[in-house]
Amino acid sequence: MLACFQLYCDGQEGIINLEYAGTKASRGVLYHREGDFCVKDTPLTSWHKNHGGKLVEFGGYWMPLDYGSIVEEHLAVRQRAGLFDVSHMGEFLVEGASASPFLDHLVTNPPSRLTVGQALYSPMCLPTGGTVDDLLVYRLEEQKYLLVVNAANIGKDWEWVSQASQHWPMVTLTNVSDRTALLALQGPLAQSLLQPLASIELDAVSYYHFVPQVLVDGIPVLLSRTGYTGEEGFELYLDANAAPTVWQSLIDRGARPVGLGARDTLRLEARLPLYGHELSETISPLEAGLGMFVRLKQPGDFIGRGALERQKSEGLQRKLVGLTLAGGIARAGYPVVDAEGHTVGSVTSGTHSPTLKKAIALALVPPSQSAIGTSLNVEIRGKLVPAEVVATPFYRRETRI
């Protein structure tokens, strides 16, 4: 029922109204008109604007690209602590007597094995084996879960999950994206910075575990030890109206605000996939090197299992590899060329690594070209730039290539 919607944008600024299957409902999200497209604010957009954030549209939201220097923000996360506004991410509640088997059918990594207070990462696939999205799943209660999806995919994912749930009558879905803010505090000093504001001992929260009711500066949050940077850190889910207070408290304690630019360079150094680049409806999780999150050795069916089993048994036609380049910056879509001059693949993501001080990239290439040490080239503006296949992640905490 909630999958089909239309936007009604009246005037230059206002409230987005969505029509769900004929029923209009205000979502309470401030938007600004950008041509014919309504770009939404997060609860912190005004703060970003007032503190030097360079705002760009991302996933339908105004988001800060940076506050003056992507490199400085990147290094602040690697060396101290950075704070990200990721309130553009989507959040869906899934609950009911059939919530566990439904989610086991929906995603490739079974949420039913989680204990309450534990989270997991999983792809969500099409019957073809391509990827609808990659997401986090939190087990809030025995029969209640939280799905966290990528911002640009909120509408598509909501439709996909809603349609899939039609065969599971004892499942209830609620889209809480617009009333939920998400802050990510990442870096080696994240815990010491957050601890004085938190009502629990943070040492008690293990990696990929969470506590649903923690006070941070007196405000209730779901506190999770997760992140997207390759560093220690926490993610805080809270009421959208309370986000500016918690954000400012963390900034006052020394966290540096960090924009999307550094978020991308950080995740790429850690070889964390970005949907639309390393994963897509035409790129399977097996091709992206995420086989550990696809339960092919376990019983039970899930959407895309047959296609992924065939892909594995027949052998992958392409694999995601890491590259270092001798010069120039590789960008998504740039051709990868072998020693004989044949185009054999393409770059999915590339950047200059502020930590490693060299150009790095991820690329899809045939298995025959995927061995560590293989010499390749990346075509950059008509010029072939030498590249070498290297082990990933490019960066690990305490270890750098």
| pLDDT exceeds 50 at position 18 | no
The mean pLDDT of 8-12, rounded to a whole number, is 30
Cα separation, 193 vs 195, whole angstroms:
6
Residue 398's pLDDT is what?
77
Amino acid at 217: D
Residue 38's pLDDT is what?
81
Residue 36's pLDDT is what?
47
CA distances from 316 to 134, 145, 279, 312, 313 (A): 20, 33, 15, 6, 8
Q: Looking at the structure, do residues 17 and 53 belong to the same domain, yes or no?
A: no
Q: Looking at the structure, do residues 350 and 247 belong to the same domain, yes or no?
A: no
What is the pTM (predicted TM-score) of this model?
A: 0.90
| pLDDT exceeds 80 at position 401 | no
Contacts of 376 (CB under 8 A, 6+ apart): 323, 336, 337, 338, 339, 344, 365, 369, 386, 387, 388, 389
Q: What spatial distance separates the first Cα and last Cα of the chain, rounded to whole Å?
A: 50
Q: Looking at the structure, do residues 202 and 98 belong to the same domain, yes or no?
A: yes
Residue 28's pLDDT is what?
34
Q: Looking at the structure, do residues 306 and 369 belong to the same domain, yes or no?
A: no
The number of helices, as runs of H, and strands, as runs of E, in the chain is: 8, 25
Per-residue pLDDT of 114-156, as tens digits, reads 999 999 999 999 999 999 999 999 999 999 999 999 999 999 9
Q: Looking at the structure, do residues 2 and 133 belong to the same domain, yes or no?
A: no
Cα separation, 200 vs 102, whole angstroms:
33
Q: Looking at the structure, do residues 374 and 245 belong to the same domain, yes or no?
A: no
The mean pLDDT of 53-74, rounded to a whole number, is 97
10-24, 52-66, 279-293, 330-344: least confidently modelled range: 10-24
Q: In terms of residue numbers, what domain contains 329?
A: 317-401
Please report which confidence band the pLDDT of residue 93 belongs to, taking 50, 70 and 90 as the band edges. Answer: very high
CA distances from 299 to 105, 237, 238, 294 (A): 11, 33, 36, 12
Q: Looking at the structure, do residues 187 and 325 belong to the same domain, yes or no?
A: no
Q: Looking at the structure, do residues 203 and 85 belong to the same domain, yes or no?
A: yes
The residue among 292, 315, 338 that closes a domain is: 315
Percent over 90 (pLDDT), the chain: 89
Please report which confidence band the pLDDT of residue 70 belongs to, taking 50, 70 and 90 as the band edges. Answer: very high
Q: Looking at the structure, do residues 356 and 248 belong to the same domain, yes or no?
A: no
**368: how many CB neighbours lie within 10 A of its CB?**
10
Task: Specify the length of the chain in residues.
Answer: 401
DSSP code string of 220-269 = EEEEE---SSSS-EEEEEEEGGGHHHHHHHHHHTTPEEE-HHHHHHHHHH
The residue among 295, 315, 335 that closes a domain is: 315
Cα separation, 36 vs 29, whole angstroms:
17
| pLDDT exceeds 70 at position 225 | yes
The mean pLDDT of 255-280, rounded to a whole number, is 98
Q: Looking at the structure, do residues 126 and 263 belong to the same domain, yes or no?
A: yes
Residue 26's pLDDT is what?
29
Q: Looking at the structure, do residues 30 and 87 belong to the same domain, yes or no?
A: no
Taking a C-beta distance cutoff of 8 angstroms, is the pair 118, 208 a contact? yes
| pLDDT exceeds 70 at position 10 | no
Whole-angstrom Cα Rg for the chain: 21
Cα separation, 109 vs 65, whole angstroms:
32
Count: domains in the chain = 3
The mean pLDDT of 286-306, rounded to a whole number, is 96
Residue 94's pLDDT is what?
98
Residue 37's pLDDT is what?
56
Residue 15's pLDDT is what?
27
| CATH number for the domain harbouring residue 335 | 2.40.30.110
| pLDDT exceeds 90 at position 215 | yes
The residue among 315, 345, 375 that closes a domain is: 315
What is the chain's mean pLDDT, rounded?
A: 91
Q: Looking at the structure, do residues 21 and 86 belong to the same domain, yes or no?
A: no
The mean pLDDT of 282-286, rounded to a whole number, is 98
Return the higher-pLDDT residue of 28 and 177: 177
Per-residue pLDDT of 235-264, as tens digits, reads 999 999 999 999 999 999 999 999 999 999
